[in-house]
Amino acid sequence: MSGGASLRLIGDYVAPMDEALSVHSPGFVDVTDGRVAACGPLSGAPLPPDGAVVSNVGGLVMPGMINGHAHSAMTVLRGAGEGLPLERWLSEVVWPREGRLDPDDVEVGMMIGAAEMLRNGVTTSNEMYFFPEAVAAGVARAGMRAIVGIAIIEGLARFGTPEAQLEAGVALRERTLGNPLVEIALGPHSGYNLGDDTLRSIRDEAIARDMLIHIHVAETPTEGDAVTARTGRTVPEHLDDLGLLDARVLAAHGVWLTESDMRLFAARGVGVAHCPGSNGKLASGIAPVRSMRAAGVPVAVSTDGPASNDNLDVLEEARLALLFARLRDGDAAALGVSDALHMITREAAAALGRNDLGSLEEGRAADVIRIDLDRPEYEPIRSPSDVLGLLVWAGSSRDVTDVWVAGEHVVDSGVVTTLPLDDIRAAGRRIADRIAG
């Protein structure tokens, strides 16, 4: 369908990911002008919108998943340096390769990542990488929704001063305002990498323009030691002291947050992106997700970059989040299916300050996925709500067959309709060879 047209999708099961985690069987979703016009049980459905195409897609229909923290253009670095300890992996493998990337490479890497995410049922990703204009171009070509963070980092001469990076980011935002699928955010690398004056300038721009600040926080136990030695504060306390937490903030990782850091984040409305797969691969630790949510911090379950994961599969991360939380607490009730599904849909949207996404409630974005249930791993379905537990514990993102972003059909029967995928994959292999040096 094209913009402005209307659509009714009918599913054997429709899970709008509302607060109560309803499952309508059968259910419907009406889409008009890229937004959800109505959703509910088919038995109580109004007449379809004027001129709507009615499509009985069967299966499970739900909102597209949200990836709360990713560096997806790193698909071209995937698999490099496997098994090296973190410091050697960064200094010998990642940084030299990144130093050889140009904007066209980043656009290709992002398109590969976007194609992978769309096929996995991910319709929005919160990105942070160098050459953000190339990241934005890649997601725009894929027809995916993204928040594109301007990486702001100290100590990389190639990208200029942090002030110049901030200025370029604000300019990119002005140029991108007309694209409803792309939001430009500010991505200061971390509270320990950047100086106080730079962080204050970032806060000022973010608040003045209602831009999200996307920042790494407490990924490892020792990364904030210098800040604490200098200020006597934890990194979250230091960021709050600078006023940064008064902006919309998404903190990635949060593995080593203290209880008082969590209360501070809750009080300031800061969301956390939890990356269990990446934290496991790099042995960073297990984030205290149960405590964060109990304190009132919204959590988005996320992949992190594909060089440290190595896929962009949010549903798999949701399962890992459940497993890790239960192992951490030694308690099978630590986190449940409803928690996992909320943390990849509506709660992830809340963590990003984007309550226009993440559920099929009226007025929200028509980002919708359809999952094939005609597979043995979805037996038995004895009542409609069984579908959700089967999806999380037994199913896979490989079962996603169709994806709509803002009502546009961008994955049709498993095929990405927006990109010449064979050409892009070949280009990605050439880049991986070249940057290996």
Q: In what order do the strands lie in the sheet with 249-253?
A: 65-70, 122-129, 145-152, 182-188, 213-217, 249-253, 271-274, 299-301
Strand-pair partners of 182? 146
Strand-pair partners of 60? 13, 371
User: Per-residue string for binding with Zn ion, 270-309, x by CB under 5 A?
Assistant: ----------------------------------x-----
Q: Which is nearer to Zn ion, 261 or 304 (CB)?
A: 304
Taking the complex as a whole, the smallest distance from the CB of residue 344 to Zn ion amounts, in Å, to 17
Helix or strand holding residue 152 (H, E)? strand 145-152
Q: Which is nearer to Zn ion, 116 or 304 (CB)?
A: 304
DSSP for 23-84 reads -BSSEEEEEETTEEEEEEEGGG--PPPTTPEEEE--SEEEEPEEEEEE-GGGGGGTTTTTT-
Longest dimension (CA), the chain: 65
**Which residue's structure tokens are 């309803």?**
22
C-alpha angle 412/339/306, rounded to 5°? 55
Taking the complex as a whole, the smallest distance from the CB of residue 216 to Zn ion amounts, in Å, to 6
C-alpha angle 248/117/148, rounded to 5°? 30
**Contact in structure between 351 and 300 (CB atoms under 8 Å):** yes
Taking the complex as a whole, the smallest distance from the CB of residue 158 to Zn ion amounts, in Å, to 19
Chain positions 220 to 259 lying near Zn ion, rule: CB under 5 A, are none
Q: Which is nearer to Zn ion, 106 or 391 (CB)?
A: 106
Taking the complex as a whole, the smallest distance from the CB of residue 102 to Zn ion amounts, in Å, to 21
Q: Which is nearer to Zn ion, 219 or 372 (CB)?
A: 219
Taking the complex as a whole, the smallest distance from the CB of residue 37 to Zn ion amounts, in Å, to 36
Taking the complex as a whole, the smallest distance from the CB of residue 273 to Zn ion amounts, in Å, to 8
Q: Which is nearer to Zn ion, 31 or 251 (CB)?
A: 251
Taking the complex as a whole, the smallest distance from the CB of residue 292 to Zn ion amounts, in Å, to 18
Taking the complex as a whole, the smallest distance from the CB of residue 304 to Zn ion amounts, in Å, to 5
Helix or strand holding residue 129 (H, E)? strand 122-129
Pairing of strands 213-217, 249-253: parallel
- Report how many residues bind Zn ion under the rule CB under 5 A: 1
What is the rounded distance in angstroms from the CA atom of residue 304 to the CA atom of residue 160? 25
Taking the complex as a whole, the smallest distance from the CB of residue 51 to Zn ion amounts, in Å, to 44
**For residue 229, with 0-12 CB atoms within 10 Å meaning exposed, 13-18 middle and 19 or more buried, which class applies?**
exposed
Q: Residue 157 gets which letter from DSSP?
A: G
**Contact in structure between 148 and 135 (CB atoms under 8 Å):** yes
Taking the complex as a whole, the smallest distance from the CB of residue 261 to Zn ion amounts, in Å, to 18
Q: Which is nearer to Zn ion, 61 or 202 (CB)?
A: 202
Q: Which is nearer to Zn ion, 304 or 367 (CB)?
A: 304
Q: Which is nearer to Zn ion, 57 or 156 (CB)?
A: 156
Q: Which is nearer to Zn ion, 240 or 304 (CB)?
A: 304
**Contact in structure between 190 and 216 (CB atoms under 8 Å):** yes
C-alpha distance from residue 282 to each of 71, 86, 87, 285, 304 (Å): 16, 7, 10, 8, 11
User: Per-residue string for binding with Zn ion, 377-396, x by CB under 5 A?
Assistant: --------------------
Q: Which is nearer to Zn ion, 91 or 260 (CB)?
A: 91
Determine the 3-state secondary structure of 121 from DSSP.
Answer: coil
When CB distances to Zn ion are compared, the closest residue is 304
Binding stretches for Zn ion (CB under 5 A): 304
